[in-house]
Each structure stands twice: as structure tokens, then as C-alpha cells.
Amino acid sequence: MDRVALSGLRARGYHGVFPEEREEGQTFVVDLVLGLDTRPAAADDDLAKTVHYGVVAEEVVAVVEGEPVNLIETLAERIAQACLKHEGVQEVEVRVHKPNAPITVPFDDVTVTITRSRV
């Protein structure tokens, strides 16, 4: 399976279990790896035979900016399902970063990574 990756998609969301997260919001960062067969697109040099990663990026940002959820696990699942709606995408790995999570000790990042497939 071939891979198309998007790294560092940023969007403001209002996800979290604490009231201040829901009120103030914060930046979430998303990395994706889409699994698909790119041979038909490469053979014909045809965008219609692969995934349009610009469209995927816009849809992912819309999910992050959309309906708030408590957990970034839930956010990752919603992103994965949006990616799998694209016909050629057979598998997706989603990593959601929450670099401003409300943690009381010094840290660099919090991430949740999931892999989902059509199977």
C-alpha cells in the first residue's frame, strides 16, 4: 500500500473536559498518513484516480473546528472516519496533538494516534 502524508495541519478547536477548554479553545495539530494504491493515478497522471489531499486537509480542519468533544481520542476517530469516506483511501493513521493540554507539569506535547481501515 502506498502512503500520502499530511503533517502539521492546524486548527482551533474547543475540545476537552474542562470548562475553560470549551470556552477559550486551543490549537490542535493533526498528522495523517493515508494508505491507498497510487499506481492508477501515476500511470495516467490523473488526480481523479488518487486522493485529493487538499480536500482532505480542509475536511480535517472542519472536523477540528466543528462540534466539540471531550476526548482527543474521539476527535481522532472522527477525523479517521472523514478520511475513510474518500473512495481510494483504504487505511488512515491519525495523530492528534494537543500541545496546550491543561497539565500542571512541564511537557512538550500530548498525542493520540489511531489507525483505522476499511476492513
Task: Please give the positions annotated as active site.
Answer: 98
The b-or-e profile of 34-67 (16+ CB within 10 A means b, else e) is: bbbebeebeeeeeeebbbeeeebeeebbebbeee
Joined together, the cell numbers standing for residue 46 give 490523473
